[in-house]
């Protein structure tokens, strides 16, 4: 009887999935960030301050075990990834699903010149002629996170993405809060957060 119990304990341990940890950071500052212009799919580059921020994040993460970096295809995220990965040679994979939300007709506008709060309202769930609908955007990021969980179980993954992407990532792990506008949930430039599956 005792042997059977031990065997069952071993079976349970073998079937248990290892905890997986996600590190998420936003790209460094760009000139459009500084001007408070929405840049969505615009392929802007890091400014001097953004490069310094990425270097600080590199130093902050230097002792962190990272098995893989998943990066947005946009230049500002790729530049940030390159700086963070200096001297480490961690495998980098580009994933379109963590590209910034498409601002469509609002691309390049100043936040004050359109209803930015309504744009980030999950409750209103507004539809636009060109811009990406918020629930569609959330679905895209949630699909990405579901696939990361399946494909990289037990790994430690760094995601380098955008302010907009950091919002559904937070909601995926912590739930969508009962508030009108979700824009306040975003990460600052090169801020790092950790989540566990």
Q: Please say if 162 is a catalytic residue.
A: no
Task: Give yes or no for a contact between 64 and 85, defined as CB atoms under 8 angstroms apart.
Answer: no
Other residues' Cβ atoms within 10 Å of the Cβ of residue 153: 12
User: Quick check: is 100 catalytic?
Assistant: yes
Active-site position among 100, 105, 132, 186? 100
**Of 2, 8, 21, 27, which one is the catalytic site residue?**
27
According to DSSP, residue 105 is labeled: G
Q: Quote the CA–CA distance of 48 and 52 in Å, as a whole number.
A: 7
Question: How open is the CA angle 21-25-30, to the nearest 5 degrees?
Answer: 170
Let me know: does 86 contact 130? Beta carbons within 8 Å.
no
CA angle 48, 187, 103 (to 5 degrees): 85
| Catalytic (active-site) positions | 27, 100
């Amino acid at each position: 009887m005792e042997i059977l119990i031990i065997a069952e304990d071993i079976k349970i341990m073998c079937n248990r999935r290892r905890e997986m940890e996600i590190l998420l950071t936003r790209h460094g500052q760009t000139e459009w960030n500084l001007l408070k212009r929405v840049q969505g799919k615009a392929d802007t580059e890091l400014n001097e301050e953004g490069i310094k921020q990425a270097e600080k994040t590199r130093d902050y993460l230097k002792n962190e075990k990272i098995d893989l970096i998943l990066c947005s295809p946009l230049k500002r995220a790729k530049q940030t990834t390159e700086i963070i990965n200096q001297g480490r040679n961690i495998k980098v994979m580009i994933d379109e699903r963590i590209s910034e939300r498409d601002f469509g007709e609002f691309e390049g506008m100043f936040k004050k010149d359109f209803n930015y709060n309504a744009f980030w309202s999950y409750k209103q769930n507004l539809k636009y002629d060109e811009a990406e609908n918020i629930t569609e955007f959330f679905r895209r990021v949630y699909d990405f996170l579901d696939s990361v969980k399946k494909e990289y179980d037990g790994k430690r993954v760094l995601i380098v993405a955008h302010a907009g992407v950091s919002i559904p990532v937070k909601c995926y792990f912590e739930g969508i809060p009962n508030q009108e506008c979700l824009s306040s949930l975003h990460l600052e430039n090169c801020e790092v957060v950790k989540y566990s599956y």
